[in-house]
Structure 1
Amino acid sequence: MRRGRLSIAYVHYGSQSGVTAAIAAALGGRGHELRLVAATGDLEPRDPATRRLRPAPPVVAHLALAAARYGRLALRHRWNTTYAWDRHASRAGERLRALAPAPDLVLQNGALFAPGLPPPLPYALLLDHTRALAQASPPWPAAGLAAPVDYGPGWRAREAAVYGGARVIATFSANVARSLVRDYGVDRGRIAVVGAGANVFPDEAPRRDDGRTLLFVGKDFRRKGGPILLDAFARLRRRRPRARLLVAGPREVPPLPEGAFHLGPVATEELPALLAQATALVLPTLREPFGIAFLDAMACAVPCVGTRVEAVPEIVVEGVTGVLVPPGDAVALAGALERLLDDPQGARAMGARGRARVAERFTWARVAARLERALLRAAGGDAPGPRAPRRARSVPAARAVRPPAPHEAVLTLL
């Protein structure tokens, strides 16, 4: 390490909705040297370059084990077996050992594997979620969401161990920080809540909406509460027949009610122009690791309607930058939308406050500054080494989690 500048090996598993590139650029912009290390890819059933099937023995074994555990959900959860964890961890370790000169610190995105078996270098983690939080989510039959699958004790043990060996764990939210302490026994002193950033922040945020256009943005229509929104919108149209709904992101959607339009996938660079036409972003998500779509809307001065789920209340401040409703409640959602459309001045004021909030807290440059402090602290400290975390306990397939008190829901940024 030279004069507060780190050499960082950034271990990742893909674009992660733009997070990988944003973090790399923001830390690089602060003078740190980053080398990207891809740990995944060799187990994918198709060659990433030619897209041809490759029935190599590790790939066949990988898919067979996923099928044995997850059945028809095997492709979706193919990375969530202990075999995949160990293969990806081994590949990450091999690539890290090959780096010359060795970095000061490894920064790994997520906890789908360890940065080596065992990790050859001191490491930090950047997390948007934990498996304990994911498994705590209930089923949502109205949206076609079953209870989350259980990855099994082997996965949970590996996840706990990778948390236990990290010098520091940087989290997107206080929600994840609480889970690390409560569910995995991680010492609070090794956790830094750094937040996340909007993927767009235009120099200007003109409002060109017609006062009646609602916008949904998200690829996973069911998980993001799409079916609940369609129910709520149909209710809203009975009282506000001129209201319209734009659905951006998913490739396919169920039949839409009158006044709703499917736009399909939308590129990130197209979002500001689309958001300029929206009276409000409506994302009644049912399961949400963080919710960068809310930040993108706020960055464009658009008020948000979301749900009281996981980290969403840390982003959307009730009555200040938007409105929050209980998850899965179409009646409450329809009422909130009607009140918002009936108060255009209040909606504009929420949008303006949302843009100011993003500028103050949720740009990737500000995230990088907070992350930098955590990484510098980690690089200068003693590595804890692989160890079992204190008070770690197994995570049931689904359980209720006490909702945070209002003072606990505030995002504490370093």
Structure 2
Amino acid sequence: MFFPRGGSAHVARALATEMPAHGWDVTLVTGSLAGGHGDAHAFYKDLDVRPVDFGAGDAPMHPSYEDRSGAADGVFAAIDDAGFERHVAAWSRAFVAADADECDVLHLHHLTPLHEAAARVAPGVPVVTHLHGTELLMLEEIADGAPWPHAEAWARRMRRWAQRSERLVVLSPGQVDRAVALLGVTPEQCVLSPNGFDPERFDELEVDRTAHWRHHLVASPRGWAPGEDEGSISYSEAEIAPLARGPVAISVSRFTAVKRIGLLVRAWARAQNEDRLPADASLVLLGGYPGEWEGEHPADAIVASGARNVFLAGWHGHDELPAFLSAADVNVLASVREQFGSVLVEGMACGLPPIAINRFGPADIVTDGATGWLVGPDDEAALAGALVEALGDPVERRRRGRRAWRDAHERFSWPALAEDLAGVFDEVADVADGRVAERAPVA
């Protein structure tokens, strides 16, 4: 349902690419915004994709699991019954057009109205549901009394869809207990399958750092601040000089409140003010699509904190990420509610030790003291301390980076993960075939 930009779209693309090697032909039914960064034909190039064009009115714009003021994608739990039916009707048409009733398995990402559409259009086809975690966050807010007008109706629907699923794919061990408690499913329904990386794309690259940062921050900048045009923040040759000679920390994320970019900037300024960071250390903030941010914008946090050597590089496509990671030394993710943390895995695959928060997905990805650093949520002092350790000790940084690279390639490579998930599809399809055979009349 989600148009290409978020993490689940990258997962769908990776699996659709890998599954044919394990005997599964894949058709992708997905939301799209034609002609731009959300164009499904471009994002899923060379795959069998059937776009549902939001701009053309094929379906209403998809909702979100986050309640963000002024956003085009309002929170699911605020949509009434009539709005729900409009979504179901639109995706039912898309499933009919894609011959969903002739498939062996429907692999549905997130708990959305696609489940209701599948039940109406292809009731005999087994469903495997991929929980990316954000749906669990919304359910937790509903359980805590969030005041959305249709919260309970959506919670009931999502529990029903989950319970009907043959399998629920979860990204980390910690999600199993949460899924059982929130959705009323059994642990046996849950299959652990973390997100991965493409080993042909993500690896340590030889990058001319001076040329790389000069191009992206001086010659063709994309950094931006609220109220200004995309690309409005540019830097001089003198300003970016530290990026060529000193250690570089990079943070790759959206500018949403849970990502805690402002906290990271303040932790950086704190370490600088205490004279604990190397003088030529730099922090690059990669991400933040123009016009999309919540709360304090990073540019404002930089000014307010007095942080030095912090650079806004703007939003870049996923294909550009390996070069950015290879031009850095440490990967930082300050997010307090990260359900997995694919960018941590991708950074590790490029030899970068991560600094992350000891909660949810990152706690399962990063081994503190071995492959990276873990700190408590919203702990500015601890985050500053980890930055100092990582950037001030090149020997320890390289040691953890080597272990991170090895760990990523052993645990998170998409070809191996896809093979395991293909086995789940095989099992689910075989069970469904057995049920059909049991129901078939005996001659």
TM range (shorter): 0.7 to 0.9
Deviation at 1:182, TM superposition (A): 1.8
Q: Quick one: which amino acid aligns to residue 374 of structure 1?
A: V
Q: Pick from 284, 297, 307 the counterpart of residue 246 of structure 1.
A: 284
Deviation at 1:94, TM superposition (A): 3.5
Q: Check whether the contact 1:216–1:283 (CA below 8 A) recurs between aligned residues.
A: yes
Aligned-residue sequence identity (percent) comes to 23
Q: 2:108 — aligned with what?
A: 108
Q: Deviations over 1:34-57 (max 9, x none)?
A: 112236889xxx9999x9977x89
Deviation at 1:31, TM superposition (A): 2.6
Q: 1:389 — aligned with what?
A: none
Alignment CA distance shift 1:19-1:377 (3 Å)? same
Q: 2:257 — aligned with what?
A: 222
Q: 1:170 — aligned with what?
A: 169
Q: Quick one: which amino acid aligns to residue 251 of structure 2?
A: F
Q: Structure 2: state its 5+ residue gaps.
A: 41-50, 210-243, 291-297, 436-443
Question: Does 2:75 correspond to 1:75?
Answer: no
Q: 1:123 — aligned with what?
A: 127
Q: Check whether the contact 1:37–1:92 (CA below 8 A) recurs between aligned residues.
A: no
Deviation at 1:137, TM superposition (A): 7.2
Q: Check whether the contact 2:33–2:54 (CA below 8 A) recurs between aligned residues.
A: no
CA distance in 1 between partners of 2:414 and 2:146 (Å):
31
Question: Does 2:248 correspond to 1:213?
Answer: yes
Q: Check whether the contact 1:107–1:125 (CA below 8 A) recurs between aligned residues.
A: yes
Q: Deviations over 1:246-280 (max 9, x none)?
A: 11111463232221111111222222222122121
- Any idea what SS the aligned residue of 2:280 has? coil
CA distance in 1 between partners of 2:430 and 2:58 (Å):
42
Q: Quick one: which amino acid aligns to residue 231 of structure 1?
A: R
Q: 2:94 — aligned with what?
A: 95
Q: Check whether the contact 1:194–1:367 (CA below 8 A) recurs between aligned residues.
A: yes
CA distance in 1 between partners of 2:171 and 2:197 (Å):
12
CA distance in 2 between partners of 1:382 and 1:370 (Å):
19
Alignment CA distance shift 1:304-1:153 (3 Å)? same
Q: Quick one: which amino acid aligns to residue 242 of structure 1?
A: D
Q: Check whether the contact 1:109–1:125 (CA below 8 A) recurs between aligned residues.
A: yes
CA distance in 1 between partners of 2:256 and 2:373 (Å):
20
CA distance in 2 between partners of 1:25 and 1:373 (Å):
16
Question: Does 2:27 correspond to 1:35?
Answer: yes
Deviation at 1:362, TM superposition (A): 0.7
- Any idea what SS the aligned residue of 1:33 has? coil
Q: Check whether the contact 1:91–1:116 (CA below 8 A) recurs between aligned residues.
A: no
Q: Which has the higher contact order (CA 8 A, sep 6+)?
A: 1
Question: Does 2:374 correspond to 1:324?
Answer: yes
Q: 2:267 — aligned with what?
A: 232
Structure with greater helix share of residues? 2
Deviates more, 1:295-304 or 1:193-202: 193-202
Alignment CA distance shift 1:210-1:96 (3 Å)? same
Q: Pick from 428, 431, 439 the counterpart of residue 378 of structure 1.
A: 428
Aligned residues: 354
Q: 2:179 — aligned with what?
A: 180
Question: Does 2:2 correspond to 1:13?
Answer: yes
- Any idea what SS the aligned residue of 1:159 has? helix
Q: Quick one: which amino acid aligns to residue 123 of structure 1?
A: V
Give TM-score, length-normalised by structure 2.
0.71
Deviation at 1:107, TM superposition (A): 0.8
Give TM-score, length-normalised by structure 1.
0.75
- Any idea what SS the aligned residue of 1:328 has? coil
CA distance in 1 between partners of 2:24 and 2:190 (Å):
21
Deviation at 1:26, TM superposition (A): 1.2
Alignment CA distance shift 1:86-1:355 (3 Å)? farther
Q: 2:392 — aligned with what?
A: 342
CA distance in 2 between partners of 1:133 and 1:322 (Å):
26
Question: Does 2:137 correspond to 1:133?
Answer: yes
CA distance in 2 between partners of 1:344 and 1:100 (Å):
53
Q: Structure 1: state its 5+ residue gaps.
A: 1-11, 139-146, 386-414
Question: Does 2:291 correspond to 1:292?
Answer: no
Q: Pick from 352, 355, 358 the counterpart of residue 402 of structure 2.
A: 352
Q: Check whether the contact 2:58–2:90 (CA below 8 A) recurs between aligned residues.
A: no
Deviation at 1:289, TM superposition (A): 2.2
CA distance in 2 between partners of 1:319 and 1:26 (Å):
33
Alignment CA distance shift 1:211-1:106 (3 Å)? same
Q: Check whether the contact 2:336–2:377 (CA below 8 A) recurs between aligned residues.
A: yes
Alignment CA distance shift 1:71-1:293 (3 Å)? closer
Q: Quick one: which amino acid aligns to residue 293 of structure 1?
A: V
- Any idea what SS the aligned residue of 1:271 has? helix
Alignment CA distance shift 1:57-1:319 (3 Å)? closer
- Any idea what SS the aligned residue of 1:38 has? strand
- Any idea what SS the aligned residue of 1:153 has? helix
CA distance in 1 between partners of 2:100 and 2:54 (Å):
33
Q: Cα RMSD (Å) of the superposition?
A: 3.5
